[in-house]
């Protein structure tokens, strides 16, 4: 693989999959491969699996995180979970703005912005997901969508708080769970747009250190193609990463 200026990040997003027992079996299977890699390996697990997985990865190079959190510290929000709760349970990071949260649970950029601020308050690292829908893609609105998502999600969040805590995941919605992965050209163009917007919002120093990863129907066969792209610093993987053997193989490719 071509030499990169930033460390490579490989993150699994389990979504609503795996019981505590299944999670533990998975983590034990991938740990040997994770220990060998120079990349940063992460798994976003269901809330119930955070504590058991965090205990299992103690003193290893595998990082455990959550897939969502509420923007409040506590209160009357039946069924919700606070950042400080997932932090206490052992999460090191949280995925925010995933398209399934945006589309199914109607999360707005404004809400995601509040969640990012709360997550940083709780000393959680953030993987911020952005990406256009199929219709937006077909109507040439990629630049506009990425710009407004980034601007609104990061509003009033100073660079000092985001250095080494933020990872940006470009996930075209039409590629998530569909088997329709983006071409390297599409991923590269989105990465370039993101870097321009981030330079505009902050500065080029901050942009230079910001990891930008790709997600959307990544698998063992196509992972290397994305990892080769200059400026793309890793992968966010759903379906293919449910199998520990596939996840370990992708880590080995990185
Ligand atoms: P997928 O999911 O790899 O199944 O497309 C990616 C994601 O939702 O982060």
Alpha helices in 58-182 (DSSP H): 83-89, 99-104, 109-121, 134-138, 142-153, 159-162
What percent of the chain is modeled with pLDDT above 90?
Answer: 96
Expressed in angstroms and rounded, the spacing between residue 76 Cα and the centre of ligand 1 is 32
Closest by alpha carbon to 115, among 164, 76, 163, 166?
166
Mutation test residue for ligand 1: of 215, 234, 235, the one with most atoms within 8 Å of CB: 215
- Is 63 a catalytic site residue? no
With a 6 A CB cut-off, is 67 part of the ligand 1 pocket? Answer: no
In the chain, what is the greatest distance between 2 CA atoms, to the nearest angstrom? Answer: 50
With a 6 A CB cut-off, is 177 part of the ligand 1 pocket? Answer: yes
- For residue 2, pLDDT over 80 is answered with no
pLDDT digits (tens, 9 = 90+) for 93-131: 999 999 999 999 999 999 999 999 999 999 999 999 999
Q: Where are the domains of the chain?
A: 3-237
- For residue 215, pLDDT over 80 is answered with yes
pLDDT digits (tens, 9 = 90+) for 35-93: 999 999 999 999 999 999 999 999 899 999 999 999 999 999 999 999 999 999 999 99
Identify the CATH number of the domain defined by range 3-237: 3.20.20.70
pLDDT digits (tens, 9 = 90+) for 13-33: 999 999 999 999 999 999 999
Active-site entry in 98, 107, 137, 191: 98
pTM: 0.97
Expressed in angstroms and rounded, the spacing between residue 14 Cα and the centre of ligand 1 is 9
For residue 65, give both structure tokens: 């995180």
Task: Report pLDDT for 4.
Answer: 79
Cβ contact 59:92 at 8 Å: no
Determine the average pLDDT of the residues in 144-158.
98
Task: Report pLDDT for 3.
Answer: 65
Atom of ligand 1 at shortest range from CA of 240: 3
């Amino acid at each position: 693989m071509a030499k990169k200026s930033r460390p490579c990040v490989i993150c699994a997003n389990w979504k609503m999959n795996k019981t505590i027992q299944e999670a533990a079996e998975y983590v034990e299977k991938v740990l040997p491969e994770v220990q060998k890699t120079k990349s940063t390996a992460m798994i976003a697990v269901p809330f119930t699996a955070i504590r058991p997985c965090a205990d299992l990865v103690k003193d290893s190079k595998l990082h455990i995180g959550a897939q969502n959190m509420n923007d409040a510290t506590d209160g009357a929000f039946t069924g919700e979970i606070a950042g400080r709760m997932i932090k206490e349970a052992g999460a090191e990071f949280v995925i925010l703005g995933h398209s399934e949260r945006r589309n199914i649970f109607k999360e707005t950029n404004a809400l995601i912005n509040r969640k990012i601020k709360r997550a940083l308050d709780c000393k959680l690292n953030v993987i911020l997901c952005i990406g256009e829908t199929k219709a937006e893609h077909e109507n040439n609105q990629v630049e506009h969508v990425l710009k407004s998502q980034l601007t609104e999600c990061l509003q009033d969040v100073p660079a000092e708080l985001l250095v080494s805590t933020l990872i940006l995941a470009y996930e075209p919605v039409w590629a998530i769970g569909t088997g329709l992965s983006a071409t390297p050209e599409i991923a590269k163009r989105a990465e370039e747009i993101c870097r321009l917007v981030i330079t505009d919002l902050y500065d080029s120093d901050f942009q230079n250190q910001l990891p930008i990863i790709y997600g959307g129907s990544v698998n063992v066969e196509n992972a290397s193609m994305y990892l080769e792209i200059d400026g793309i610093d890793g992968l966010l993987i759903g379906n293919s990463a449910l199998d520990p053997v596939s996840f370990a193989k992708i880590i080995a490719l990185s």
